[in-house]
Each structure stands twice: as structure tokens, then as C-alpha cells.
Chains A and B, each alone.
Chain A
């Protein structure tokens, strides 16, 4: 059966990808620029920015700090958010709507607002500002988005499978572990990646809740005050490469699960 529309959709999708990757391609290109220019004309190839980044304690520390915060945020959010999502979609209890709204509302607040609110909380509870307070801030900020992903997936969840498991004698937690979680895992992974990228780029909450440290987006954002140079491109390219490796290994997991 002929499908003339395939070629149209295919071309369209290719164009979409081209559009998505155009800025990224330029980021990678300029990471190799000989001068500090971030715009055309391109002055020739050089690895100086990679050397600068890998030799710079400022960038290294900032990357490490960002990674720590992002990884911990993701892990905690995935666990806590999935549990909360299951609780809210599977069980009908009084106040469910309010709980749902309560877990979603921080996502609709400006980052600056959340940052200042959290800072006043930490000041009043006399908690020293550090990367841990930043992590709390990121957690509060990204939870609504992960929660949205989990609940929307669970709302389409076919409970027949859970019922089948229970009919076969599995208790609720076993059902959770063996049936529910593997089936919603792709959405959880997608949500985790979204949350990671949100935490990775977060600037405003971080600024207010951080102590005498720096995260990568803070450094990048503050270098704009003086002068951005392709060091930031080099970092981005390095991290892109790192995330490629990471997503590749996760992808295999997704493929396995879908089988």
C-alpha cells in the first residue's frame, strides 16, 4: 500500500531535527575557535579552550558542584516523585486534589521567588548555605515537572496488569516493583532526564541558596558580565559528549524494558 505522506513527514522530521541541532552544532564549532569570538568570522581551529577549561579550577569545581547537585536532585526527585505520583493516582482519598495542586504549584512560581523564599527559610532555621541547600532548592523546583510526567503516565496506566499480578498472589509492594515500575520506567527515565537538564541549567534559585561555592550556570551567567569566551562552548561540548555516553547506556535499558 503506497504511503505518499511518509516522505512528507520524514522530511518534516528531518527539518525539525536540523532546527533543534543548529545552535548545538554552532556551539560545538565555536568551542574550537582560535580567538575568543563566539560569532562569525570563525578564526580557525584550536584546542585552547578545552585546555583552559580542564586546567581551570574554577570551571572544574563548578562542573563538579553542578553534577553533585543535579545527580542528587534527580535521584531524590525520581524516588519521592514516583511514590507521590503513585499515591495520588492509585488511591482516591480526601484532599487528593489539594495534594496534587500543592505538589504542582512550585512549578508555576518564578525561580527568583522560590530562591528568595527558600533563602528566608534557611536564614530562619539557621541552616548554613551550601550545595545542600541548593539541592533542596532544585528539588522543590523540579519536583512539579517530574510529578506531572509521572502522573500523566500513570493516568494512562492499564491497571489490568496490576490486577492480574494481584490475582496471582502478589502483594501491593511486589506488584509495584515487578509490574508497575518496569512498565512506567521509560516515562520515569524521560522525566529524570528532563529534571536533570532543568537542574543543570538552573541559575536563580541557585544564586540565592548557594554558599561560598559556584555552579556551572552561575559561572557562565556571571562571565557574561565581563566577557563570554568559548570556554563555555568547550564545557558544553564536553558535557554533550558525556551525556551522549550516559544516554546511550540508559537507552539500552529502555530498549530492554520495552521488550
Chain B
């Protein structure tokens, strides 16, 4: 970063023409993205923000009368809180597991594989290309009462009755989440670990550092951006997921995304749906802020 700052600082101080050129460059580079997001999403999002402070008066109808009630309901309603707690909690757990479980595999792929590395990454990427919903159905066969795991456990004599909690439970949802998002974590971690020069690790080992120390002092801090990215990505997409909890969650099949959907689609209550969405947005934003603080983490 310092090189860039120095470079752009140098550029900026050269002459006014360069500064103007820089400004044009920035506009040209960042403009298109801003235009589409700003044009298509900003105005309606702001509109929904305004509506989140209004009252709903029937399906799809709004009375323009300022109120905080949607937000107080979103934050205080015990049912919403319970669902939010479970959704965010499950999301955080899934993200943690994905990062933790992804690290050893990413480490192995980055530092221990030379010729096989591309094949391994390629396999990871391929696993992303099966339709999400179709993959979820496979869990019935794996975790079900007459499924693979239970049949194996019974045949091996480990249990006498099938373990019913494996499917249609939060456990099943967690397993499915990890299965879907682990590839992304491995990819992001590998990508950021490729930045670590292997001779640094060798030096550490020569100096007597054990594997745990090497990991916590060198690998972890240097791959922190990858870990943060993997965690944030998994956390945001799992907490806001609708389909996996409803198919695999059993009697705990409601998620925050469900609630938002109910408000918008079933009840036509845009103010409430928008309020909950913005509360979710705030939570994600705060988590992301907190995670970026971790970026400065330099080891235990």
C-alpha cells in the first residue's frame, strides 16, 4: 500500500495536469460501476428506506405517516429476535467452521502441492457448478433415516436406531451451509496464502518455530484478508439464506430471509420488510467493520 501511496503522491505533486488526469482516470474507472449500482438500486433503496419509516395500511399500501414502529418491532419482537439470533448464529458458526476447516486444506494446496495444485483448485471450483437446490436434495440421501450415514452407523453397530437429528434440524442446515461455502473459503484462503513466500516458512521452521506458532505468527496474519473475506462472504450469504433452512431445517425451518419474504410477499407490508432488511444490513456492516479491524491482527 505504501508503494501505491508514494507513487500516487509523487504523481499528484508533479503538476496540475497530472492531477486532472488522475481525476479523469478515477472517474473513468469507478464511474461505470457507480452508475449502474447508483442508477438501478440507489433510488429505489432510498425509497424503501423512506417507506420503512411509514405505516402499512393493507396489502401493498402505505400511509405516509412517520413512525419508528417498524424498527422497534424489528428489534424488539421476541419472534423476530429468536429467528435473528438463530440465523445470525448459524451463519457465524458456518463461517467460522468454513474458515477453520478451510485453512488446513488451503495450506496443503498452497505449500505442499506443486504439480497437483492447479488440479486441486480446479476440483474446488468445479464443485461450485452444481445447482445449489439440487445439491440440497442430496442431503436427504446422506443424512436421512434410511440414508447413507445412518445405514452405515447401524451396520457397523455404532447405533441401534437411526439418528434422526442428522436431518431436518439446525445441524443439517449447518452441514449443508459448510458444504456449499467451504469451496469459496478454500479458494479465498488459497488466493491470499499465495502471497506468503515459502522461504519465510522455512526460515521460521529453521529458527525452531513449531507448526502452531508458524501458523499463528506468520500464516494467519499474512492471509488475514483472505480469512476475513471468506468469513464475511459466508456469514452474509448464510445468514440471509432462505432455501437451505426451509428444506433441511425440519421444524426450525424459519430464517430471517423467510421473515423478510413473508413481510413483502405474503403480507404486502413493505415498511416492515424494508425495516428488517435495513437492520440486517446494519448488522452485516458492523460485522464487516469489526472484521476489518482484525486485519491489523499480527499474531498471538
Contacts and interface: CB of A to CB of B under 8 A. Distances in A.
Instruction: Specify whether A and B are partners.
Output: yes
Interface of A: 5-6, 9-10, 12-13, 16-17, 19-24, 26-27, 30, 38-40, 80-81, 83-84, 86-93, 99, 102-114, 116-118, 120-121, 136-137, 139-140, 143, 145, 147-149, 152-153, 155-160, 162-163, 172, 186-187, 190, 193-194, 197, 200-201, 203-204, 216-217, 220-221, 224, 228, 232-233, 235-236, 239-240, 243-244, 247-248, 251, 254-255
Contact of A159 (B4, B42, B274): B4
Interface in B105-161: 105, 107-109, 112, 118, 120, 122-142, 144, 146-148
Given A84-B29, A152-B192, 9 more contacts: A13-B109, A22-B138, A89-B4, A104-B288, A107-B236, A149-B188, A172-B25, A232-B134, A239-B130
Contacts of B127: 20-21, 24
B22 A139 contact: no
Contacts of A136: 36, 40
Nearest to A23: B138
Interface of B: 1, 3-5, 7-9, 22-23, 25-26, 28-30, 32-34, 36-38, 40-45, 47-48, 101, 104-105, 107-109, 112, 118, 120, 122-142, 144, 146-148, 179, 182-184, 186-188, 191-192, 195, 211, 225-226, 229, 232-233, 236, 240, 242-243, 256-257, 260-261, 264-265, 270, 273-274, 277, 280-281, 284-285, 288
Contacts of B36: 80, 136, 139-140, 143
Nearest to A186: B191
A201 B132 contact: yes
A225 B108 CA distance: 43
Contacts of B179: 19-20, 22-23
Contacts of B142: 22-23, 26
B140 to A, nearest CB: 5
B46 to A, nearest CB: 9
A104 B240 CA distance: 16
Contacts of B41: 106, 114, 117-118, 121, 140
Q: Is the interface of B mostly helix, strand, loop or mixed?
A: helix
A103 B124 CA distance: 27
B291 to A, nearest CB: 12
Nearest to B274: A113
A63 to B, nearest CB: 11
21 contacts: A16-B101, A22-B179, A91-B22, A91-B26, A91-B29, A92-B9, A104-B288, A112-B242, A113-B277, A114-B41, A116-B264, A120-B48, A136-B36, A140-B36, A221-B133, A235-B134, A236-B134, A239-B129, A243-B126, A243-B129, A247-B129
A247 B129 CA distance: 10
A132 to B, nearest CB: 12
Contacts of B131: 200-201, 216-217, 220, 232, 235-236, 239
A109 B38 contact: no
A121 to B, nearest CB: 5
A102 B38 contact: yes
A247 B125 contact: yes
A6 B26 contact: no
* 4 interchain residue pairs of minimum CB distance: A87-B29, A23-B138, A117-B44, A84-B33
B213 to A, nearest CB: 14
Contact of A91 (B1, B25, B107, B243): B25
A42 to B, nearest CB: 9
B7 A84 contact: no
A11 to B, nearest CB: 10
A169 to B, nearest CB: 15
B37 A193 contact: no
Contact of A247 (B120, B126, B264): B126
Given A5-B211, A84-B32, A156-B192, A113 B48 contact: yes
A220 B147 contact: no
- Of A109, A118, A160, most buried by chain B (CB within 10 Å of CB) is A109
- Of A26, A203, A236, most buried by chain B (CB within 10 Å of CB) is A26
Contacts of B225: 152, 155-156
Given A23-B139, A26-B142, A113-B260, A121 B33 contact: no
A19 B229 CA distance: 22
B118 A254 contact: yes
Contact of A10 (B108, B134, B284): B108
- Of A99, A113, A147, A243, most buried by chain B (CB within 10 Å of CB) is A113
A89 B117 CA distance: 29
